[in-house]
A = this chain, B = another copy of it.
Amino acid sequence: MKVVFIGSGNVATHMAMALKGVGNGIVQVYSRTSENAELLADRVGAEPIDNLEDIYCTADFYIFSVKDDILPEIVAQMPSTTGIWAHTAGSIPVSVLSPHKKRGALYPLQTFSREREVNFQDIPLFIEGESDETAILLKELAETISGNVHFLSGDKRRILHLAAVFACNFTNHMYTLASEIMSEEEIPFHLLNPLINETAAKVTVMEPKAAQTGPAVRFDEKVMQKHLELLKDPLKREIYSLLSSSIHKVSGNRGANETQNV
C-alpha cells in the first residue's frame, strides 16, 4: 500500500515505521517544519514535504497524525486526492475529515515516547470508517501491523481515550509525584519498580477495585494523617486527600481489618 503521513510526531513516527516494516510504501511525510518532515522521511525512505500543495494525490491512505487543535486547518488546506483519509486521534470525530468522502479513524491505544521502541503487534488499534467499505480497508491496513484490531464507533473511541487518560497519563503522574517525594530524601526511584510492575500486573487478572490496597481502603486515619503531615507541597496534599476520599467512596470499608503494606 502507498501511504502518506501528515504529521511527524511520536504517533506518526512509530506508526510509519511499523507500516514500512511490513512492506508498505511510505510515499511522503508532511510537517510544517521541514526538519521534522526530513527526520521521519529519512527513516522510512519517504519524500519530506512542508507544503500541502506538494501532496502526492494518488496514494491509498493519508494518515493524519497532528495535534488535535491544528487538524481542522490542515484538512482545510488539503488538495483533493484519491484513497482513504484517516486520523489517529482519540477524541476527534471522523467528520473533521469531511471534505473527503472516504474517511475514517485508526486510533492506536498506546503511549508513545520518541526514544522508546514499541511492539506494534500488541497495540490495540481502533477503526472507524464513514462506510463499511472504508472501515474494512482501514482494518486490513491495521492488521498488517497489529494482531489487536477492533471496530469502534467515534462515541466509544472518545470514552476509551478518556479512560486511557486515567489509566496512563494520570498513572504516570502518580509515578512522577512518588519520584519527587523520594528524591527529596535521596531514596532511589528504582526501588519502586517491583511494586509498580506488580500493581500493573494485578489488574490484568483481577478487577482493579478488588486489587486496591493501602491506608485509604483500610481507612487507616492515623497513617493518612501522618502522610499529610509529611507532604510539604499543598498541591500534593490536596491530591492525597482527594484520591483517598475517592478510594474510600468506591471501596466502602472492605479492607478495614487487613494489613496490606501498600
* A→B interface (CB under 8 Å): 7, 9-12, 65-69, 88-91, 107-113, 115-116, 118, 122-124, 148, 150, 152, 155-156, 158-182, 184-185, 187, 189-218, 220, 222-223, 226-227, 230-231, 235, 238-240, 242-243, 245-247, 249-250, 257-262
Are the C-beta atoms of A258 and B9 separated by less than 8 Å? yes
How far, in Å, is A36 (CB) from chain B's closest CB? 9
Separation of A100 and B110 alpha carbons in the complex (Å): 53
Q: Which of A168, A184, A215, A250 has the most chain B CB atoms closer than 10 A to its own CB? A: A168
This protein's copies in its complex: 2
Whether A196 touches B178, Cβ cut-off 8 Å, given contacts A111-B261, A259-B65, A262-B90, is no
Q: Taking chain A's interface residues, is the majority helix, strand, or loop, or is none over half, making it mixed?
A: helix
Q: Residue of B at shortest CB range from A230? A: B162
How far, in Å, is A60 (CB) from chain B's closest CB? 22
With beta carbons under 8 angstroms apart, the residue of B89, B173, B178 that contacts A247 is B173
Which residues of the other chain, B, contact A239 by a CB distance below 8 angstroms?
170, 242-243, 246
